Structure formats: C-alpha cells, structure tokens
Chains A and B, each alone.
Chain A
Amino acid sequence: MNEKQTILIIDDDIDLVEILRINLENAGFDVIDAQDGQTGIKLAQEKQPSAILLDVMMGVIDEGFQVAYQLKQQPKTKDVPILMLTAVGQQTGYKFDSEKDEDFLPVDEFIEKPVNPKRLVDLIRTHLTPTM
C-alpha cells in the first residue's frame, strides 16, 4: 500500500485546525499544523507535505499572502500545491484574476470559508500528485 500523504495546515485558529485535522485524518491523510507563518514555512521545508492549507489572515492582514509567496520561491516547497482559505473573500480588496500584474502571489486554489469538509477533501485530492 502507498504511504499516507501529509497535509500541512497553517492557521492561527486552533479550533478550526482541529476540525480540519479530524476531517482530513478521516479521509486518510496525515496532518501537521503550524499556528504562524514562519513555523509553517519551516515545517514545510522539513516535512515536505503533499499539500498546504493556508489561512490568508493571521496576525497581519496579508500574512498568508506573504507565506504563500515565500513558499513558492523556495526550491524545496515551490512545487507543493497551496490551497488558500479565507473568511473575507473579495472584501479584502484583493483581486483574484489578473494575469497581467507582475506583483502576483501564486496559489493553486482559493477557498472562501465556510467550506464543507467533504468538498474540502475533494478539492485537496484534485491537487495531489498520485503517489507511487
């Protein structure tokens, strides 16, 4: 059988982390988590997760964006799919669809909270590369 795939959750809402952990573990994933961006980046380097769930708004309004940007710049983590979670949607003033602007942040999926646990698992699966 193939080894369990690991999902890294970076979110400062520990309650939400627990809820996500239960759902993801039930779906057959290993879950690791970090409560802030820097720890998240370090964990991502060390553990090489299969996917990262990232909250947009942690301490600072756009900390999530900064984290995503750094993850995509580092060779070890640049190929790991990032699924970004946010509770604020378009009200943040971020525009999500411009290809023209150079100042972009690369994210593979953008998910507005609340998201149904089942749909979340499905979304994660679509971004995973099948293991050997």
Chain B
Amino acid sequence: MIRFFKIAESTEENVTRFTTARSLRRRSIWFIKLRWIAAFGAVLLSIVAKHLLNLPLDLHKILAIVGLLALTNIVYFVFNRNVKPKSFRREETHIKTQMILDLLILTILMHFTGGVENPLFFIYFFHVIMASLMFKGKGVYQIAFLAILFFTFEVVFSTAFFPLLNHYHIFSHSDHMHDIRYVLLMLLMFWFVILATAFIAASFRKRYQKIKDELVKNQEQLIETDKSKTDFFRFASHELKSPIVTIQSAIDTVLDISDLSNQSKDLLYRARNRAEQTIETVRDLAELTRNEATTVIGADPIRIGEMIQNIVEQNREPIQQCGLDIHFVLPEKPIILRSFPGFLEKIFGNLISNAIRYSHDGGAITIRLVEKLTSVEFSISDEGIGISEDAQQMIFSEFYRAPEAKKHNRIGTGLGLAIVKQYVEKLGGTIQLKSQLGKGTTFKITLPTNV
C-alpha cells in the first residue's frame, strides 16, 4: 500500500530589525573590549603626559578613576556572562545605563586632568555617535543632553565665577577659566557640535533603517511572487499535460486494437512520439521551475554508490540494446552523503541516460566516485559523439541541443542538463565538462559533504 501525505508549507517569516536584543548584546561585549583599551590608553597617556610632557597630573587620582572604570567593566562582563539577552527593551536599558556611567566617569577624569584645557572632551562625540547606532528615536538625544549636562556642569563650576569645584590646571599659564568669553564660547560650541552630531547621526540611521525596511519588504514580495509563479506553473503544466496524455492514450489504444495499414500505423507512431516528447518537455519544465526549498524534505543519509548502480540497473534495456560496456570505479568503503535523494536521482539519472543516448554502439562508459576530504566527486565518461567547443558554451542553457546531438538522436527536450546544473548548484556543488567532438565526453560533479 502506498501512502500519501501533504507536505506542510513552511512559511517562516523573515523579520529583520536594525537592532535586536542579541545585536545589542554583541555591542555590549564590544564596548567591554573598547573600555579596556580606553582604560589602558588613559593610563599610558597620563604617564607620557606627566613624564615626557611635564604636565602636572595627579597619577594617583587618574589611576583611581581608571580603576572605577575597570570595576564597572568587570561588573558588565560578569553580567553578560550570566544573564541571557531576553528582551530588546531590557538590553537597551542596560546598555544605556552603561553609557551614562561611562559619560560620568569620563567627566570625572576630565575634571581632574584640566577640564576644558584637556582635549579629552572629544570623547563625548564618540559616545553620541555610538548611541545613534544603537538607540532609535530619542535615545541619541538623551545621551547628547547628558553629555552636554555633564560637560557644562564641570566647566561652569570649575570657573572662578562659580568655584564649586577646584580647577586643575595642566597648562601653567592658562587663566582661560577666568575669562567668561572663553568659557561661554567653549560651551556654546560644544552644545552645538554635540547636538549637530546627534542630529546628523540620527538622520543617517533613520535613512538606513528605511532602506533596510524597503529591502526586506521587496524581498518578501519577491518570494511571494516566485511562489505564486511556481504555483501557476504547476497548474499550467498539469493543464498542458492532461490533454496530451489523453491524445497519447487514444493513439495507443487505436494502435492496440485496430487492424491498420502500415502507413497509418507509421503516422500514428510519429504522432505518438511527438506527443510523448511534449509530455517530457512539460515534465522537465515543471522540474526546472519546481521551487522546493532544500530544507522542506530534509537531508537523508544516502549511499551514493548504491544509488548510482540502481540507476544504471534501471537503464539496463538501452545499455544491452546498444551493447555498451559500463565500468564502475567505486571506493571500497561505501560513500554516505547527507543530501536530498530526489535531486541526486535526477542529477545522476540525467547524466547516465545522456551518456547512454550519445554513445556509439559498443562503446564504454566509466562511472567514477571518489571521496575527498570535504566533498564527493562523481564523474561519468563516455566514448560517444562528444560536444563541440561552441556547443559546450551553451550546453547548460534551457532548450539548447547541440547540432551533433540532434543528428544522433532526434528527440530530446534540451532541458536535462539545465536541470542537472540547477540541482547541483542547489546542493552547493559544481559541475565541470570536458569533451572532444567525436571522442567522448566527461562530466564531473563535486558535491560538498556538509550540506
């Protein structure tokens, strides 16, 4: 008893977002690395500045601040290790908190190393750009405002006008801090550039997101169109095939039951063969447009050697008729490939029947199977009519038949090798062809072992 069942259509939805909980987590891991580099760089730079440039820096304080940064970094590291990224929102909150703490530590470091005298404040821009990559909408502006707030607070309260904090001079003659014009210009410029950076980065991000959304939408539409095309073709091929099948069956029946003159019989045979050829073309076309994902059926372990021998066995009749000699060169240990039997059968079947059809009577066909480290090589050589160099360029195109092939064998759809090539590529493999007109042809297929 044969059993049928319907394959469930797998419609896995392809949702892409600019950032996901996982991508944010990856960023977080990346930031931890950056923080180590920043800590290391800060210490190194301070030592250089103090001893080579003779700047009056308090290395103990700097080390304490860098130590604080390192400590927070270790906390983040342990957190990432032990807590899985669950929701996008939570991950976003974490990374935002980390960024705010980073800004705070940066401000403290800046305060003890000269405040506005120190070009360290450029690092704030870096944070704003990072924020624009990760947070959508208001997120980047929140970071920008915090940067402005921290920086302004530090600068304003280090001046002689609001001497809440001590100002640590690093350049001996710098009394900028007593000149309100300088402080105001500095602050205004800082605000402007920070906000402009946030705006530019955010609009870039928005645009990029839009392009990405469109791409995803287009891709979904393409898949949908492709699917309906395939469905249409499936239906169309059935509609085309059915009437021809009826024609063929009618001719068969007439040939079977009527007493006809040889002339009538000959004509009917011709009609019958043409009907058969059309059926074959429709069948091959359907095969070519069949759009089965290689994951639907699932890969099965296949003994390729056995499969090939079975296919040759199925072709025994024409092989005997033409007196062909078939040689197998198979390895002793059977080769097992995890793959898709339907595709492999079509590939081997087409190549084997081609070799038989285009051989001269009494010729030899050699089938080789070799297992390589990461691939399996199948080759089939015949001593048949061969393919001219011009024809070799075209041989894998749909409906193409080489002139010598047409001469040798009138009937053929010209689709067989196109199907073979499509399936080999679907399985991630390659196909090569070596042929000399009149001498014979070798097809070699390499299939990767890990599909």
What residue of chain A has the Cβ atom nearest to residue B286's Cβ? A91
Write the chain B residue with the least CB distance to A116: B252
Q: Of A93, A106, A114, which is in contact with the most chain B CB atoms at under 10 Å from its CB? A: A114
Q: Give the residue of B4, B7, B279, B292 whose beta carbon is less than 8 angstroms from that of A114.
A: B279
- Size of interface on A: residues with Cβ below 8 Å to B: 41
Please give, as numbers and ranges, the residues of chain B lying within 8 Å of A90 by CB-CB distance. 342
Instruction: Indicate if B234 sits at the interface (CB-CB under 8 A).
Output: yes
The answer, yes or no, to whether B430 is at the interface (CB within 8 Å) is no
Let me know if A132 is at the binding interface, CB within 8 A: no
Report the nearest A residue to B256, measured CB to CB.
A117
Give every chain B residue within 8 A of A105 (Cβ-Cβ): 3-5
Minimum Cβ distance to chain A for residue B175 (Å): 83
- Contact residue among B6, B241, B256 (Cβ-Cβ distance under 8 Å from A87): B241
Q: Is the CB of B245 within 8 A of A109?
A: no
Chain B interface category by residue count = 20 to 34
The reply to whether B234 and A91 contact each other, CB–CB distance below 8 Å, is yes
B238 and A88 within 8 A (CB): yes
A1 to chain B, nearest CB (A): 23
In angstroms, Cα B287 to Cα A95, docked, is 15
- The CA-CA distance from A21 to B2 in the complex, in Å, is 25
Task: Find the A residue at minimum CB distance from B255.
Answer: A117
Tell whether, in the assembled complex, residue A103 and residue B257 are in contact, meaning their CB atoms are under 8 Å apart.
Answer: no
Is B219 at the interface (CB under 8 A from chain A)? no
What total of A-B pairs shows CB separation below 8 Å? 100
Q: Is B118 an interface residue (CB 8 A)?
A: no
Contact with A along B275-301 (1 / 0, CB 8 A): 010010001001100101000010000
Interface flags, A12-39, vs B, CB<8A=1, else 0: 0101100110110010000000000000
- B164 interface residue (CB < 8 Å to A): no
- On whether the beta carbons of B3 and A98 are closer than 8 Å, the reply is yes
CA distance A49 to B292 in the complex (A): 38
Specify which of A68, A88, A107 lies most central, judged by the most chain B CB atoms within 10 Å of its CB: A88
Contact A103 B5 (CB under 8 A): yes
Q: Which of A75-132 contact B (CB under 8 A)?
A: 87-99, 101, 103-110, 113-118
A69 to chain B, nearest CB (A): 9
Q: Could you list 16 further interchain pairs (A-B, Cβ under 8 angstroms) beyond the known A87-B241, A92-B234, A94-B6?
A: A13-B246, A16-B246, A57-B238, A87-B238, A91-B286, A91-B290, A97-B2, A97-B3, A98-B5, A104-B3, A105-B4, A109-B2, A113-B245, A114-B245, A114-B248, A114-B276
**Chain A: residues with CB nearer than 8 A to chain B?**
13, 15-16, 19-20, 22-23, 26, 57, 61-62, 65, 68, 87-99, 101, 103-110, 113-118
